[in-house]
Structure 1
């Protein structure tokens, strides 16, 4: 597995997004099987594991803690995210984004993850009115050794500059894929300039770019694709032109559409690390195997040129997750 840098941390070129093991994509594998998948990814060279306290309200952190428990701690990079407002079961005498509130939040995450430190601690969603204060507190946690680095989720370029000036950022985590490229305008170039790693979540557009889902597919229960507009049957049909384009490249390279999609994200810069979900052994092998099918400069240029003539419909947002009913009304997304 190739390595990349997120700030000063060396990580696998492709990480594992752990959200789907407990949250947002319907019923996942049994815990024992899910832990085995994490270990399989590690054995194949993946050392970067991403989660959040918001995913299934702390159950995701608890799962990852169990999954990583028997792996060498110094050989894994834990990327965790804290939610800026109170979650069910949380009670803070002060504001959650105060030093006392964040310290309480961090200590709970450390306990659930069964570790003494978190490698990258990211503010999940933005609360820009407290940004400088949060950045200062993250600096204190770094000095104390509680975290090694910190990051922001889906910030604007200006928010990155503001936070980075107080405590240098190691990571920015935002949605980035062939279907969602708005960050190419300013955020990704800024990350390159400031030596900030860009962690790309939903690099396959919630699975759409794998080509494994049809307009007639049904999504039930805790599956956010029930509400993501890009999975509306009419929109899926309209976006088929994107899959056709990717399929042509996949056939030429002898790989899958998922691997082409991940290779597109990887080609954007050596500081970009996609974190696809992987809930079966086949997906672990397929996704991590994308590093073996890099896009050439001409393939990348031609693909971007072709995409510039296609109107891509649909999106995903925090409001989609809100519609699942798993986020309390008083929690902002």
Structure 2
């Protein structure tokens, strides 16, 4: 993240959710509110940027599309959308299930411009959105722009995952450690050094009572050496945007770190399983992203 600027990843993820809801069938993850958090000018600028940047992605396909609309759709479907869409669908399904089983709190770390609290104004579920102060201020401005009222059960908690201790900030915002909670950490593990990611897990663990759980996505140890073109593109785009990807993990090392905090993997979802679960019924270019996995770990 660049100093004094919101996360470009957050803005692009919001664009992807809006674009997918408007243009793709069937819908993997429906977010009818995301479009309201992006100005018309930004929406057009992102589309223009993608259409003009086609040569960066597949130079050999420059002549394969008859319009800018086709170019944008291809880039969004192949490059940008798969991971944000599938991980959101996976996580929100878990949150809804855990709420039925007694969870009373949902903590979203790296929430960005997520709209869950506005799409699902749950009674009995307090939602804490934790994010970098710059991104959170940007979100406040966008909520004001959209004329959305803050749900009574939503708390915004500003924290820098590298510099700050998240736990006391959550407690100050009214977090209740004795209550069953779902934590999500989506799109974060890639952008932190391993030591910072493990430090964040260390901060969160004492806040988890028995039965609480955490959901996160991660890239496996083959990421940085991957021969897959779109993976290479993603790494290059992240560097150019000022938010480089820094870490990849083996399942074994993650399992060891989690067990240290009495967190045990309840479910690990591989790229092949993600493909079967979320992308198998499609006739377009949306497919599960290589090397990206999901984990749902439960505190025992």
What TM-score comes out, normalization by structure 1 length? 0.35
**TM-score, normalised relative to structure 2:** 0.37
